[in-house]
Structure 1
Amino acid sequence: MRSLVLLIASLFFFCAEAQAAPKLLWETKGLAQPESVVVDPATGAIYVSNIVGAVMQKDGNGFIAKLSGEGKIVTRQWVKGLDAPTGLALYDRTLYVADIDQLIAINAASGEIVKRYPAKGATFLNDVAVDAEGTVYVSDTPTNTIWRLKDGSFEPWLANDKLNGPNGLLVQGDALIVASLGKIPSVGQKQELAGLSVVSLKDQSVAPLGNGKPIGNLDGLALLQPGVFLVTDWAAGALYRVDSKGKAELLIDLNQGSADLAYLPDKKVALIPMMLDNSLVAYRLE
């Protein structure tokens, strides 16, 4: 009987631990409309894009901040003179930054801008993703377009209204996973929720992920584990876990403005820019 009681107690303790709520580890304040975050696996440094002003205004006020792995600000304006930098992606020591109508390549070691790729006709380049071969994909949210940088050429790759305001991007095998913004409630615009889509990298076909049920006004997208994703809802302020069937589970209730996150699987830590709070938060997901 004593063994049975201990077994039941152990199972209860295990289940309680497995369902433990995400824990806030730290918060870095003093940023300026942070939109996206990426971690450098070579150095552990954290890079954060800061819009500083109107989202689509070419004012030269935007910058990239460099933080330590513990969230301490190392250089607040590590790269400055940008306009409204949003999505970030790091590949082969190059940091790619979406900045309204251009993709900017930055040397991750020095912080020097090495190349600017203009996107003529783009309205608001938003998120950036890179595949294993170094091909770069960038979402242009208002025009339902995905741009692609390949072999030095940066051009529209896919324009499809099924994308419904493409925002967060993630390459998974032969597919591009897209988190859609839908429509944020504003003057003269009714709110429209959106979900996740799967774009074939071979034939550019677009299909909903799983049941295709709308989740929210989605922003950031990261892989939690194979077939399971983390997404942020900018308008509602939330972090969701979404499985391959499209089922969404609320993990964290956040303030409005939760933007383009990063996830560190080895530490089980999600880094989330809180755009309207001017901060970056780190949560451990148990």
Structure 2
Amino acid sequence: MPLVSTSSIVDAAREARVGAAAFNVIHLETAEALVSAAERAETPLILQISENCIRYHGALLPLTRATLALAEASTARVSVHLDHLTDAALVREGVDAGVSSVMVDASALPYEENVAATAELTAWCHDRGVYVEAELGEVGGKDGAHAPGTRTDPDEALAFVRATGVDALAVAVGSSHAMRERTTVLDKELIAALRAKLPVPLVLHGSSGVPDEELRRAIAAGMTKINISTHLVSVFTGSIRETLGREPELVDSRKYVRPAREAVAREAARLLGILGAKAEIPGQYAPQAPACG
């Protein structure tokens, strides 16, 4: 199937009031597992490659091109997105390589500098038909620098979206990056307030620490794009530990990576079913129409 755009996946999910899954690629094996999961679940998927991942591999192009090739060859609707890019040169290189969306992360800068940097890169991306996500309220735990209690202010978020022209906004509503236990309770009232205030889709970072039903409640409240990385990385690593613990004599990495790849594919397919299901959860957090267009 030809590559699809991240915007088409996110916009369709927002319209249907379901989650648009965005799972992080760490290496080729996880990319293969995630594409397999999308095919099994028959659900669209956004494959994300972070700046940290690019730095690990030493360059953007090899893994990005391989991921694009896997997405294009898949029978599922798969897009490729670059996540948490702080380097403008990587934004431009990724767009030239063929990704359909990027997250411009200037959130470490003072507010006015964040706005200026994000607006400039957003305009450049829009000239090339590329969808842009950005971050305003700090997401707890990012690089150990953000307080978990941080929350996005709806009025400030609206001003930021208007000033930058971004297409989606990552918001701080109680989640935290790199969590290994799925115990987080999100601020659904704030999610609903942000959904009512903003004309763009909301993005939940740090979703690995959020239980299944809480994710569904967040979607019901108005969250759209759901980013998950650490949880699936833990599944991969846990499988390798289990295989090597059972067969410590193994030396051929394919013999312990293959079951790890399969374990990620199974769990990712299960999560796709959770996020892509209609979140018909009763309560006061039903999504509302945006206050402005």
| Structure number with higher relative contact order (C-alpha < 8 Å, ≥ 6 residues apart) | 2
Q: What TM-score does the superposition give when structure 2 sets the normalisation length?
A: 0.34
Structure with more helix by fraction: 2
Greater percentage in strand = 1
Using structure 1 for the length normalisation, give the TM-score.
0.35
